Amino acid sequence: MSETADSVLGNKQSAGVSADQEYAWVSASREGDTLAFNRLVLKWERTVYNVALRMLQDREEAAEATQEVFFLAFKGIRRFRGDSRFSTWLYRIALNHCVTRAKQRPPGAHFSLDDANESIGSAEQLRIAETQSSELIRAEKRKRVLTALSHLPPDQRAVVELRFFQDLTFEDIAAVLETPLSTVKSRLYAGLETLKIRVGAGA
C-alpha cells in the first residue's frame, strides 16, 4: 500500500502523546522493537476497536478484528515509508480489514447493538458541509444511527465512519481509502440517503 496524505487524523492523537513521540515509536517498530509497537497499540486500540464496532456491529467480532488489524500492522510496518501519518496507514488497514470481513458475511446478515454504551461514541448529528443544508440527519438516540449503519454496504459504511465519526475531510478519506474523490463523495451521499430514510423510519 502507498501512503499519500500528509495530514490525516491529527485530531485523533491521544492526549499526552506528542507527534514526535509517536514518530519515535514508529521508527523503533520498523526496526523490530516490539515494546515500541505495543505503545502504538495502547495509543490506538480504542479508536480502532470503535471503528471496527461500528463497521461490524458486533462486539466479539470487533474485538477479534482489532487484534487482527494490529497483527497486520506489525507484519507490515517495515513497509511503512512515512510518507503519511501513521494514523492514515493504520486506518487504511482497519477499514480494509473490516470491509473484507463484512463482505464475507452471508447476504442479508445484520447485527445490532442493543447494549450500545459510551465507548461507541456519539453520532446524534450527521452533517455534510458541501450541501446547501447544514443539517442533513439528526438522530434522537445514538442507537438508531448505529442500527441504521448496519444496513449500509461496507464501502459506504467506511466513508460515513471516516467523515462523521472521525471527522475527516473528503480529501483525507480519499487518501485513507486510496479511492478517487468523486467515488468518496458518491458513496457518502448514497449512504446518507439510506441513513436518512432508516433513521426517519426508526431504522
User: What is the per-residue pLDDT across 31-81, written as a single tens digit (0 to 9) for each?
Assistant: 999 999 999 999 999 999 999 998 888 899 999 999 999 999 999 999 998
Q: Which CATH number fits domain 14-106: 3.40.50.300, 2.60.40.1890, 3.90.850.10, 1.10.1740.10?
A: 1.10.1740.10
| pLDDT digits 0-9 by tens, 114-167 | 433 434 343 433 443 333 333 444 434 466 777 788 888 889 999 998 988 888
pLDDT in tens, 103-128: 887 665 554 444 334 343 434 334 43
Cβ contacts of 57 within 8 Å, gap of 6 or more: 110, 111, 112, 113, 146, 149, 150
Sequence ranges of the domains in the chain: 14-106, 120-203
In contact, 20 and 187? CB cutoff 8 Å: no
Name the class of domain 120-203. mainly alpha
Going by pLDDT thresholds of 50, 70 and 90, the confidence category of residue 176 is very high
